[in-house]
Amino acid sequence: MMIFTYSRVSTLDQSTNMQVEALKAAYPDAVHRQEKKSGTTTRGREVLNLLLDMINQGDKLVVWKLDRLARNTGDLCKIVDHLESREASLEILDQKIDTSTATGKAFLQMLGVFAEFETNLRKERQLAGIAAAKANGKHLGRRSSLTDEHKKEIRTKNAAGINPTELSRVYGVSRGTIYNVLKNAPLSLSGEL
């Protein structure tokens, strides 16, 4: 039986030290692996996928906390199903869950549902905050690189025959930006620019 531990943080400036220390204290002789990748999906997590490929019958994958492994119920279920298909198990140290037991399996599924619920609540709060900011007239996103005066000049120069490629060089913006300025030109009462 082999024991593999997995530590993960989302960004390069974060550290896995606390996770690694806890995992090494529990399983000093295990194969320890770590990576710095977002946990929102299992795609692109090469170290995790390598461990899942290496695990065989009787082996165990150990993580410090559930969210270090998966952030949604779908990914969590896929990982657990994969481990079960290989007759291996999962242990989560912090919550004292071990899928080699029926209680551990049931508890893990409940935790997965709550973890996904928490993620969805966080998204709802974020969207509510964005809506409130917009309602209060706050500008969200990158500021326009062109002033209203620039936009007026672009329309005038284009009407005089200067093409969008040349205008993009003159104003230091992409052709797409020039096309958006021309497309969003306000019409005068006479129907002209």
Query: Is 89 annotated as catalytic?
Result: no
Strand partners, 7: 34
Tokens of 100: 């080699």
Residues 6+ apart with CB under 8 A from 102: none
Tokens of 75: 């990914």
Strand partners, 63: 6, 92
Q: Check: CB of residue 91 under 8 Å from CB of residue 97.
A: yes
Between CA 173 and CA 87 the distance in angstroms is 57
Between CA 16 and CA 14 the distance in angstroms is 7
Q: Which of 7, 2, 38, 4 is nearest to 22 (CA)?
A: 7
* Active-site annotation holder among 7, 10, 89, 145: 10
Catalytic site residues? 10
